[in-house]
Structure 1
């Protein structure tokens, strides 16, 4: 009987919460997931030590996915003043082997390890060769993407900071919107619009532009759109149109014939509305390359723990 795979610690560090679990191979252990509020802890190292004390676990390896850039073994959180590097991670967890990933990279590694039912197809696209490039787009508190390539050495998910590229604008109204949602700065980013806070900013601009300024939270806007509230519906229509444009740009940059995968809480929330709010039209609006856009399948990752599964898969594939 083959020996059990070594125990691994995997974590998904967001702006508000950190989730930590244990895994063997690519599989998360049932009942081992813990969630910690970042504001209740002085550092990420403190959370990791608390988890190990809570569970009594002694993992052999650890991998963290964090919402921010990772470079040369150092991770920097974007929306919280926390940094971590590989030597610090090893000391905090007592492991011999460790990895740091951007959270969208982790989603990319998860694609081949997600449980059945975790992926839902929105549009079929065209059949693609095994190992075709895939693109993951994450929409939540922020926005980012990762491209997943497969070659002779295995799979590799690239890191990026796509949320901070310039927001596409095509009209005077777009420019006015960009100025408002960026707080008046010269650089409006994709994340300024395509995120939970971005949905709220778009709603604020639209209602102000209409002479009826009104603040609403992202869940309120989504609920209002479902209920047929005009301002909420118009906000969602604008959000979906921008998402279609940006996703189409990313598709042309990466050629993901293996599929485009939407992830994150906002990504999952807007996915059912894409067909009725103009996503396909905005996605395909690429001039002489419009026909090519139909080749890319579009799916949504329904699994909330995908980043944790991706960390486990990364350790299993690189061990």
Structure 2
């Protein structure tokens, strides 16, 4: 097997990428194992498209010849083609293949990639929120992404293989539990015409909750999400604390609804930047009570454990695991 000057044999490594609205992270993997020292971050505004990002990364790595490539995209994927919500790039399997010259190419939704990472995330990067009952290795799991947007990915295990379903759950209607919830729905529906879950459970959603509370108090005001979190933690703004508490309660309600819908006895995993930021507030502000507030099914809700994923590279790890699963299917017995 030829070995290029950079010391990486051809057709041993795979390229994996996590494409967000602002930045793209790219790395190499060997089998299902991510190589952390190869992770590079690229600012999307500096490149005309994904192909140029991947070309630049491979050049930095000395032109490594990859056997596979998998990219995780923050947006819906249909027939190998991705539409990004906050980035004017066209991403498809053909373009990834051109840039990487890889024999096996895949395009996943970023939450699907997170689902494929489950079981390969270091225990130190999983923050427990709620304990659940013991579950077998084939139990379904659920990833809930809370960041710039909101989405989910159900994870199923069938005949030794993992299937992670795509979804666009953030655009479903937000739940109404109280008169205040109805008032919040009315306030946020002016953004897109429908009060979607993502309109309250995201970074921008926290900002909308803060603005709504100001309107209710007759003292309109706005803050960026990071400033709301900082004010809440510093104890300097009661409205910020109430906004965080409202966010946590709605997140608990939505997560509980999803648990009843999909029965993820193998655990619910909260992922994304906002999920990590809000994690210390889940206990104090009643996430568990909201999650289990299901009337006669309140006891049943104790079956589900909840965790926060604190591994920033989970989507890259999941992309590598997905390629490795594909390779296992085509290897000769």
- TM class by shorter-chain length? over 0.9
Alignment correspondent of 2:330: none
Deviation at 1:173, TM superposition (A): 2.9
Deviation at 1:170, TM superposition (A): 3.3
Report Cα offsets for 1:102-141 as digits up to 9, x if no partner.
Answer: 0000000001212341212222111111221111111110
Alignment correspondent of 2:301: 293
Q: In the alignment, is residue 168 of structure 1 matched against residue 168 of structure 2?
A: no
Alignment correspondent of 1:15: 21
Q: Secondary structure at the match of 2:106?
A: strand
Normalised TM-score (structure 2): 0.91
Q: Secondary structure at the match of 2:86?
A: coil
Normalised TM-score (structure 1): 0.95
Alignment correspondent of 1:213: 220
Of the three residues 96, 114, 123, the one matched with 2:121 is 114
**Conserved? CA contact 2:130–2:288, under 8 Å:** no
Deviation at 1:16, TM superposition (A): 0.7
Deviation at 1:213, TM superposition (A): 1.6
**Conserved? CA contact 1:4–1:24, under 8 Å:** no
The 5 Å alignment of 1:57-136 reads 57-136=64-143
Alignment correspondent of 2:154: 147
Alignment correspondent of 1:251: 259
Alignment correspondent of 1:312: 320
In 2, the alpha carbon distance for the partners of 1:25 and 1:184 equals 44
Q: Secondary structure at the match of 2:174?
A: coil
In 2, the alpha carbon distance for the partners of 1:37 and 1:175 equals 39
Deviation at 1:58, TM superposition (A): 2.0
Q: Secondary structure at the match of 1:160?
A: coil
**Conserved? CA contact 2:11–2:67, under 8 Å:** no
Q: Secondary structure at the match of 2:127?
A: strand
Of the three residues 49, 54, 61, the one matched with 1:48 is 54
In 2, the alpha carbon distance for the partners of 1:186 and 1:84 equals 28
Number of positions where the alignment pairs a residue of Structure 1 with one of Structure 2: 317
Q: In the alignment, is residue 38 of structure 1 matched against residue 36 of structure 2?
A: no
Q: 1:172 to 1:123 in 2, by over 3 A?
A: closer
Deviation at 1:183, TM superposition (A): 2.6
Of the three residues 250, 256, 262, the one matched with 1:242 is 250
Unaligned 5+ segments in structure 1 are: none
In 1, the alpha carbon distance for the partners of 2:11 and 2:125 equals 24
Of the three residues 17, 29, 33, the one matched with 1:27 is 33
Deviation at 1:5, TM superposition (A): 8.0
In 1, the alpha carbon distance for the partners of 2:152 and 2:111 equals 6
In 2, the alpha carbon distance for the partners of 1:182 and 1:306 equals 33
Q: In the alignment, is residue 269 of structure 1 matched against residue 277 of structure 2?
A: yes
Unaligned 5+ segments in structure 2 are: 1-8, 328-333
**Conserved? CA contact 2:148–2:204, under 8 Å:** yes
